[in-house]
Amino acid sequence: MVVVSRVTIIRGNGARVAVARRDHESRGQGQTTSEGCGQTVFTDDAGKGGIAAGGPGNSAESNRRSGGDLVQLITPGGDRVSNPEFDPWVQDVSDEQLAALYEDMVAIRRIDAEATALQRQGELALWPPLLGQEASQIGSARALRDDDFVFPSYRDNGVAYVRGVQPADIVKAWRGNALAGWDPYTVNVATQQIIIGAQSLHATGYAMGIQNDGADSVAVAYFGDGATSEGDVNEAMVFAASFQAPVVFICQNNHWAISEPVMLQSHIQIADRASGFGIPSMRVDGNDVLAVMAATRIAIDRARRGGGPTFIEAVTYRMGPHTTADDPTRYRDANELEDWAAKDPIERLKMLLERKGLLTDELEAAVGAKADAVAKELRAGTINMPEPQPLDVFKHVYSTPNSSLDRQQDHYARYLASFGDPAEAASEEGAR
């Protein structure tokens, strides 16, 4: 009989990565480990456990400091805790970089709040708030190289921001002024995917293309806990594992798939699902920007060296509604919201900066000014955004000329012209 369980490998460089372990009980064979691995950590169905006897960190104190089965480097109270497996991956993060991460998170929270206000004021058709997920997005995005390619979901606006997408472009599609807000190839970020989980397939296909090109860049797919129940995500992991594609799957487990709680769709930790595909996984505190960054760096490094895909579950919480069309008070307990508010990702980093003596009046003023500036830019860009013209619908449908589309465009242009003045025709058509 073959029993599959979750195993965490402590690699020679101190990284901890979970892999699938097979116990061949009838033949007494041991588990298979990857090249360069050291001690092995066996975990139970709940994801809890420790390093095999005799290994470093095999103590209750070690588990407590690392947050149990959840990797944590900054506590909700702002204390920096040691984790010998993950610390080496963020030891180069300077005080200045910590402050920059804080600024990033404050800025995207302000963008998020401004976009929500714009939607309430009728300037946007819809908006998917990211409130509470700032650390998951900033910590992972700041671990990437410029030539890595990101495949985001509709909520990953913080990732788009730090990759260089302009604030007004982030909301262009949500205003209905364009099918996509930016050129993916200028910032190496694909257009946001509305179809749940579909971007995981795109990322895997792109990663297989990277293999064919012989490059060492990495594809990264972002999705939520609900997407893990979609066929697209599961199919993507099958292909990624089969071809050992250089792709990282980042699941932001925000506990709610619209109104469906995560415990309903997954009776085990989501990270444990990856082992069924033969993909190493990690489960980190998604409200801890350093833990997320460390895990992403481990996964990226593994992919660059030909080690294949990795699955990261960043455990966070969606503090706002699914979208501005949602009312979470109909299905969510207020006490749950209060509990997670105490784990706020920005507040915990702010407290760490304060403990380190870095949270000066000058820093707070600079961060506040940056947040004000991006909010002002977003509002002005949204309100003054040029309206699309009727014939713009034919743009970017095909990459090369298409006679059938040209014929349709000609027919539509003559239809508009039948109303007389082209400007009036466009105005009348838009009113319809």
Q: Of the residues 331, 355, 407, 411, which is catalytic?
A: 331
* DSSP annotation of 310: E
Long-range contacts of 361-369 (CB under 8 A, 24+ apart): 363/99, 363/102, 366/103, 367/99, 367/102, 367/103, 367/106, 367/107, 368/106
Catalytic-residue membership of 109: no
Cα–Cα distance, 250 to 283 (Å, whole number): 10
Cα–Cα distance, 10 to 12 (Å, whole number): 7
Tokens for 215?
A: 């490059």
For residues 289 and 74, the answer to whether their CB atoms sit within 8 Å is yes
Helix/strand/coil for 61: helix
* DSSP annotation of 143: T
Question: Can you give 211-273 as a three-state secondary structure string?
Answer: HHHCCCCCEEEEEEHHHHHCHHHHHHHHHHHHHCCCEEEEEEECCEECCEEHHHHCCCCHHHH
Catalytic-residue membership of 64: no
Q: Of the residues 21, 142, 163, 318, which is catalytic?
A: 318
Catalytic-residue membership of 396: no
φ and ψ at residue 108, rounded to 5 degrees: -75, -30
Cα–Cα distance, 117 to 139 (Å, whole number): 26
For residues 104 and 126, the answer to whether their CB atoms sit within 8 Å is no
As a whole number of Å, the end-to-end CA separation of the chain is 66
Cα–Cα distance, 294 to 13 (Å, whole number): 13
Cα–Cα distance, 241 to 263 (Å, whole number): 26
List the catalytic residues.
318, 322, 331
